[in-house]
């Protein structure tokens, strides 16, 4: 795997052979997010996973640098976008799904429990008529569903805890495990957002760590590690089970839950969250322009 010279780091994790996808990880430095291109080497069909629409919370300005970089990787490698996938409605970045759909025509998808997440946030935004995930996304996946990516099969697993509707996509020996695990030298992800649960996340992580030991796990975020400054996002199941300081083999469920909940109590809200959920629950679409041609966000005061 090699880094690009771009400040937005790109790494290619090559296919290991039949049934194994090529994976490119693209680091978005403002939010520590990792975006992915997962491609079938034989048909060149690709899925884009958790791509970021850039947002500056100081000026409330959006831009498309990350989206353009991802589509540049698609073009440079002769790929065809077949799917636009999100693992959950992100709290720390805006989703690029709607814009990618406009650019490529590929269907968008997320887990079906996004309907329940939308119910929570309609109340928090006091917006009873907002958010219709069934129309905002092309497909809402149920736990256990599969779909084709060229000649490869992608399996969908419900992995709640970070949110109640987070899903994992597994394609051959690659699994996109989003905000469950952090990198193998860091630990695990927070569970304190509305609908989150440390107990559920523990169970989700154990399901992930029961996959074959050589499965490549691709996480959703990285903010550096104890002995490194460069971002990292790929490790095998075996590496997590041997080294992950939160959930390596021998860790007790009750100890981890207590540790996770104590840590979460100290964490501030992501600075983009109240903007992001309002857009992401509508598939990455900005609110409809008002009479002056501009879109506006509704931000709840004193709710958190």
Three-state SS string over 94-156 comes to EECHHHHHHHHCCCEEEECCHHHHHHHHHHHCCCCCCCCHHHHCCEEECCCCEEEECCEEEEE
Please name each of the domains of the chain with its CATH number: 10-280 (3.60.15.10)
pLDDT at 265: 96
Cα 256 to Cα 250: distance, rounded to the nearest angstrom? 11
Between the CA of residue 123 and those of 117, 131, 162, 300, what are the distances in Å?
10, 11, 19, 10
pLDDT, mean of residues 211-218: 98
CB 235 within 8 A of CB 57: no
To the nearest whole percent, how much of the chain has pLDDT over 90?
96
Cα 43 to Cα 237: distance, rounded to the nearest angstrom? 27
To the nearest whole percent, how much of the chain has pLDDT over 70?
98
Residue 1 has pLDDT above 50, yes or no: no
CB 54 within 8 A of CB 82: no
Q: Write the burial class of residue 299 (CB in 10 Å: 0-12 exposed, 13-18 middle, 19+ buried).
A: exposed
Confidence of residue 2 (pLDDT cuts 50, 70, 90): very low
Residue holding tokens 């771009």? 6
Strands 22-28 and 216-219: unpaired
pLDDT in tens, 77-89: 999 999 999 999 9
CB 155 within 8 A of CB 208: no
pLDDT, mean of residues 194-217: 97
Q: In 3-state terms, what secondary structure has residue 255? A: helix
pLDDT at 7: 60
Average pLDDT for the chain: 96
Comparing 193 with 8, the larger pLDDT belongs to: 193
pLDDT, mean of residues 215-222: 98
Residue 4 has pLDDT above 60, yes or no: no
Residue 124 has pLDDT above 70, yes or no: yes
Q: What is the pTM of this model?
A: 0.96
Q: How far apart are the first and last CA of the chain?
A: 41
Provide Rg for the chain, Cα atoms. Answer: 18
pLDDT in tens, 6-62: 468 999 999 999 999 999 999 999 999 999 999 999 999 999 999 999 999 999 999
Cα 249 to Cα 57: distance, rounded to the nearest angstrom? 40
Residue 186 β-bridge partners: none
Cα 158 to Cα 224: distance, rounded to the nearest angstrom? 27
pLDDT in tens, 235-281: 999 999 999 999 999 999 999 999 999 999 999 999 999 999 999 99
CB 66 within 8 A of CB 51: yes
Residue 122 has pLDDT above 60, yes or no: yes
pLDDT, mean of residues 209-213: 98
């Amino acid at each position: 795997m090699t880094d690009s010279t771009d400040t937005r780091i790109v790494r290619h994790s090559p296919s290991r052979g039949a049934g194994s996808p090529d994976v490119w990880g693209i680091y978005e430095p403002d939010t520590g997010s990792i975006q992915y291109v997962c491609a079938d080497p034989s048909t060149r069909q690709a899925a884009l996973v958790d791509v970021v629409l850039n947002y500056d919370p100081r000026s409330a300005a959006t831009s498309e640098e990350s989206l353009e970089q991802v589509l540049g990787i698609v073009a440079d490698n002769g790929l065809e976008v077949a799917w636009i996938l999100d693992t959950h409605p992100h709290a720390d970045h805006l989703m690029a799904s709607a814009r990618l759909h406009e650019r490529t025509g590929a269907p968008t998808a997320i887990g079906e429990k996004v309907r329940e997440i939308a119910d929570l946030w309609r109340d928090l935004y006091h917006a009873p008529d907002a958010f219709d995930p069934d129309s905002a996304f092309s497909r809402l996946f149920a736990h256990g569903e599969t779909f084709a990516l060229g000649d490869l099969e992608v399996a969908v697993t419900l992995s709640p805890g970070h949110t109640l509707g987070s899903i994992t996509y597994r394609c051959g020996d690659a699994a996109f495990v989003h905000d469950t695990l952090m990198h193998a030298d860091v630990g695990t992800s927070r569970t304190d957002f509305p609908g989150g649960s440390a107990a559920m996340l523990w169970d989700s992580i154990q399901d992930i760590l029961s996959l074959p030991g050589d499965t490549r796990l691709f996480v959703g975020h990285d903010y550096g590690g104890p002995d490194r400054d460069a971002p990292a996002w790929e490790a095998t199941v075996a590496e997590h089970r041997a080294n992950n300081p939160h959930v390596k083999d021998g860790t007790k469920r009750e100890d981890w839950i207590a540790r996770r909940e104590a840590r979460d109590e100290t964490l501030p809200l992501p600075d983009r969250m109240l903007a992001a959920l309002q857009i992401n629950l509508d598939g990455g679409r900005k609110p409809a322009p008002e009479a002056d041609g501009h879109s506006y966000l509704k931000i709840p005061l004193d709710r958190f």
